[in-house]
Amino acid sequence: MELKHELQMLLDRPMNNEMFKIDEIMREMLLNIGNIDSELRDELIYSTFAMLISNDLLTSDQMINILKDCLSEDYLFYQIGEKNTDSVFKRSFSALVITELLKKDQDTCLLPKSIVVKAIDSSISYLLEENDTRGYVDGKGWAHSIAHGADMLVVAIEHPYFQFENVNKCLNLIKVCLFKETNYVCNEDERLMFAIEALLNNKMIDSNKLEEWIIELNNELIEFYQKEGRTIKFYKCKNNILNFLKVIYFRIDYTKENQKLREIINETIRNWHKNMYQTA
């Protein structure tokens, strides 16, 4: 495919990009951003977007146009709500390109505030609405929608335009992700945890707020258990939530923060183990 050849050449010689018709190539990249060919989609198109953005090889207008496209219903929200279809690749890799653009703008704030605020809001909406939670798809590569959405959420939280009023929305959507009817097996829990860390690092929440949220999360899991019983749906949610708490536990241990929080997590996991297996 000619596009593959052009992108490989551009990646090999990024500083000589004047020899390429960048606008034309980017149009082709956007048209193929969700291509089921994993080499084209992941290794070439996404990598080229990331390279162009990080190396300041795009104009402000080009970055704005890419961001507008990726935030549209034709990209990030393309056929949102579908499960087990190829549309997830277009949504998920649009999220990655938005992530690169927001990351670049964190220090410069050159993009219009209105579109950045829209991107921040969309990072929340996307994770709430995404139902295709597959990680790796045989024959087509990484979909990884929740992980890519979590990456987008992290850079949104870290952006100077992120508002405190979005904090509870972020905590709620993480909870929603943990209660999605799926088993996360491709490090989605760790990627979601980075959003918690971003909130902590940016002083948007403190350890007390996180403790309260974990208690609420556990209470909702208890209510879900009382409603569902020992169903597959319950076990998937329980595994997601307890694995997520374990990630928090060891990150807190690593950073030597807040013993009380670790005690709450330890007690929560111990109680579930006792409840499930009737051990002392």
Residue 256 included in any domain? yes
Residue 75 within any structural domain of the chain: yes
Residues 169 and 241 occupy one common structural domain? no
Same domain, residue pair 81 and 119: yes
pLDDT, averaged across the chain? 94
Confidence of residue 196 (pLDDT cuts 50, 70, 90): very high
Q: What pTM value is reported for the model? A: 0.95
User: Does 173 share its domain with 224?
Assistant: no
- Residue 206 burial (CB < 10 Å; 0-12/13-18/19+)? exposed
Mean pLDDT of 56-60: 92
In this prediction, residue 21 carries a pLDDT of 84
HEC per residue, the chain: CHHHHHHHHHHHCHHHHHHCCHHHHHHHHHHCCCCCCHHHHHHHHHHHHHHHHHCCCCCHHHHHHHHHHHCCCCCCCCCCCCCCCCHHHHHHHHHHHHHHHHHHHHHHCCCCHHHHHHHHHHHHHHHHHCCCCCCEECCCEECCHHHHHHHHHHHHHHCCCCCHHHHHHHHHHHHHHHCCCCCCCCCHHHHHHHHHHHHHHCCCCCHHHHHHHHHHHHHHHHHHHHHHCCCHHHHHHHHHHHHHHHHHHHHHHHHCCCHHHHHHHHHHHHHHHHHHHCCC
**In the predicted model, what is the mean pLDDT of residues 269-279?**
87
Torsion angle, alpha carbons of 173, 82, 132, 27, to 10: -90
pLDDT digit string, tens, across residues 87-136: 999 999 999 999 999 999 998 999 999 999 999 999 999 999 999 999 99
Does one domain contain both 150 and 167?
Answer: yes
Q: Are residues 110 and 122 in the same domain?
A: yes
Of 65, 141, 147, which Cα lies nearest the Cα of 49? 65
Co-location of 218 and 201 in the same domain: no
Number of structural domains, the chain? Answer: 2
For residues 200 and 88, state if they share a domain: yes
Do 124 and 238 fall into the same domain? Answer: no
Last residue of a domain, one of 157, 174, 205: 205
Pair 157, 239 in one domain: no
Q: Which pLDDT score, from 0 to 100, does residue 13 have?
A: 81
Q: What percent of the chain has pLDDT over 90?
A: 87
Q: Which domain holds residue 77?
A: 59-205
Q: Which of 175, 205, 235 is the last residue of a domain?
A: 205
Listed range (16-30, 123-137, 222-236, 256-270) with the worst mean pLDDT? 16-30
Q: What is the arithmetic mean of pLDDT over 186-192?
A: 95
**Domain match, 98 and 159 both:** yes
> Are 108 and 157 in the same domain?
yes
Mean pLDDT of all residues in 167-196? 96
- 199 and 236 together in one domain: no
The answer to whether position 81 is within a domain reads: yes
* Domain's final residue, options 153, 180, 205: 205
Q: Which residue has the higher pLDDT, 181 or 33?
A: 33
